[in-house]
A and B are shown apart, each in its own frame.
Chain A
Amino acid sequence: MRSSLPRTHLAGLALALLAGACGRSSPRALAAPAQRIVSLAPSITELLFALGAGPQVVGRTVYCKYPPAALAVPSVGDGLNPSVEAIVARQPDLVVLYRSPHTEAASRQLQALGVTTLVLHHDRLEDIDTTARLLGEATGHADEGRAIARRIDSVLAAPAVPGPHARLVHVVWDNPPIVIGGGSYLDQLTKLSGADNAFHDIATPSATVSIETIAARDPDWIAVLRETSDTMPPDYAKRPEWRVVRAVREGRFLFLPADLFGQPSARAPEAVAYLRHLLDRSPLVVPVAR
């Protein structure tokens, strides 16, 4: 749907959306779609490129590695503890930050220097809808933004997968054991792909648990995020205390590509399909030697 509103009204709409939805916005209005954007989160960078606004991105964090085209954009360092100097050196007209205590402070500093900032919640699937629309308006790619939002909405609105559901545990770290809980993006993807997160009852995005809790909940699969396509079981699979968990003993690991599953992404529908495919095919990883 092509917008017939003149550009200034577009920008006004963007500003209104900015002020209303996110609670933190720059007093300086965006007169026109942003042309020099610095993104301070990998998920934001990915979204900007998905909107077609890649050429407008002039700064990214050192962790922004997807899509590959993003690597050509100069890095301004860390995203969660930003260097205001490095950002300002890119002469941005819009800086998009992921909400955290450090970034609130950085945002204020940037505003004081006259830079428009946008501080976003970008943690769950619903957030992608809001962010895609917002950033779409702000970058002059409103159509693409709405399209992405619609895809996400349809994934969210899809009917629940009929049971029985496989039980899954996302293990982020082994010592101490950290698992993904019900408050997180990964938990949403898990549910949509027809599996149950064994730790859905924990409200926070992640939590430290005892190995015995994992063993007692007896998941069918252990999901691990991987940056490479390596399918060797993680090192802790050889440790005797972890082998009390049946899924570890039987080598039942699912390897999820980090760039697809690691952060809220416009490719969420692909991620759900990928995980469902893995579950349906039930591949067995190389069994761990005793």
Chain B
Amino acid sequence: MKWIGMGAVLAIAMLVAVVLGPAHVPLSDLLDSPIVWDLRLPRALLALLVGGSLGMAGASLQSLVRNPLADPFLLGLSGGAGLGAVLAIALHLGGPWALPLAAFAGALVALALVFRLGLVGGAELDPRILLLGGVAVGAFTGAVTTAIVSLAEASELRNAYLWLWGGLSSASWATVRLIAVYVPIPLFVLLAAARPLDLLVLGDESARYLGAEVAATKRRVYLAASLLTAAAVSVSGVIGFVGLIVPHVGRGLVGVRHRALLPAAFLIGGTLLVLADTLARVAVAPRELPVGIVTALVGVPLFALLLRRWSAA
């Protein structure tokens, strides 16, 4: 069955992620090595959670805004997160959690802004305005961030950009615990909205006539998907492409019904990010590539392959 296949691929990916790395850990020492237990394993788990969240958020957003090219980072959240992070550095906020918390706060502010903009036409979220608002908020926060970085004198601020480009280097058991506790709620909300999402893709009016509470569903889906994305950005920066192509891969494998698509998107997104992160660590060792580059390099050929299969079918 497809699900067993997806589970198996994920398990293999996790194994590979734990066994391979730029530091040579002989197989015999695998179970004792702190590198494996305290670095690689939490990192693989974080990749699973972040990749899965982005995949599922992407799938639900594409249906919500009725656009197959929608990506969670079109919502302007990454701009808000970047601004939050840069402000944390500029204001010399101390503490090991200052950066992710500030990024999360920034993402929430961006979320609130775009949400408010999306309600401009009335009581109901308008998908087109959501997209445009997201782009606008993203551009605005990006500009403010650039201004702060170029005007400020601390060279550390330039390095803040590198954080935003994405990476799982901050993975630890503490981070994994935090994310593992946080994501089930938005994931649950999205899964509960699976059937209404199936209806929503028909259009607002048709969805209503088939029993969907359109306004409430849109709000819930938007908030849940945004909260997942905000958490992902806060711990791992902007990892593009996952939220965009994983839903399409999922549809190719399990179809368009969200009851199957959303969990599949989680598994596929998690697998993709685990594999991409392993490649990022290993491909140019001892150096490390930004994982966002690898997801694009891995994702694009995969996507092209799928497109060929679908158009042939």
A and B touching (Cβ–Cβ under 8 A): yes
Say whether B171 faces chain A, with CB atoms less than 8 Å apart. yes
Say whether B73 faces chain A, with CB atoms less than 8 Å apart. no
Q: Do residues A209 and B163 form an inter-chain contact, with CB atoms below 8 A? A: no
Given contacts A201-B286, A208-B287, A209-B22, contact A244 B38 (CB under 8 A): yes
Given contacts A63-B153, A235-B96, contact A212 B171 (CB under 8 A): no
Residues on B with C-beta less than 8 A from A175 are 99, 163, 167, 169-170
Which of A173, A177, A241 has the most chain B CB within a 10 Å cutoff?
A241
Q: Which residue of B lies closest to A238 (CB)?
A: B96
Residues on A with C-beta less than 8 A from B162 are 173, 176, 178, 208
Q: Do residues B21 and A212 form an inter-chain contact, with CB atoms below 8 A? A: yes
Say whether A207 faces chain B, with CB atoms less than 8 Å apart. yes
Q: Do residues A216 and B24 form an inter-chain contact, with CB atoms below 8 A? A: yes
Q: Do residues A176 and B39 form an inter-chain contact, with CB atoms below 8 A? A: no
Distance to closest chain B CB from A79 (angstroms): 12
Residues on A with C-beta less than 8 A from B171 are 241
Q: Do residues B34 and A244 form an inter-chain contact, with CB atoms below 8 A? A: yes
Say whether B122 faces chain A, with CB atoms less than 8 Å apart. no
Say whether B40 faces chain A, with CB atoms less than 8 Å apart. yes
Distance to closest chain B CB from A70 (angstroms): 14
Q: Do residues A244 and B39 form an inter-chain contact, with CB atoms below 8 A? A: yes
Residues on A with C-beta less than 8 A from B156 are 173
Residues on B with C-beta less than 8 A from A173 are 156, 159, 162
Interface size on A, residues (CB 8 A): 32
Given contacts A175-B163, A175-B167, contact A212 B35 (CB under 8 A): yes
Say whether A62 faces chain B, with CB atoms less than 8 Å apart. yes
Distance to closest chain B CB from A280 (angstroms): 29
Distance in angstroms between the alpha carbons of A217 and B286 in the assembled complex: 10
Distance in angstroms between the alpha carbons of A245 and B10 in the assembled complex: 29
Q: Do residues B96 and A207 form an inter-chain contact, with CB atoms below 8 A? A: no
Distance in angstroms between the alpha carbons of A78 and B150 in the assembled complex: 9
Distance in angstroms between the alpha carbons of A9 and B105 in the assembled complex: 65
Distance in angstroms between the alpha carbons of A201 and B287 in the assembled complex: 11
Q: Which residue of B lies closest to A218 (CB)?
A: B23
Given contacts A210-B169, A213-B22, contact A241 B39 (CB under 8 A): yes
Distance to closest chain B CB from A191 (angstroms): 19
Q: Do residues A176 and B286 form an inter-chain contact, with CB atoms below 8 A? A: no
Q: Which residue of B lies closest to A214 (CB)?
A: B23
Distance in angstroms between the alpha carbons of A241 and B97 in the assembled complex: 13
Distance in angstroms between the alpha carbons of A191 and B175 in the assembled complex: 37
Contact with B along A215-228 (1 / 0, CB 8 A): 11100000000000
Say whether A88 faces chain B, with CB atoms less than 8 Å apart. no
Say whether A23 faces chain B, with CB atoms less than 8 Å apart. no
Interface CB pairs A-B, < 8 A, 5: A175-B169, A208-B289, A238-B95, A243-B38, A244-B39
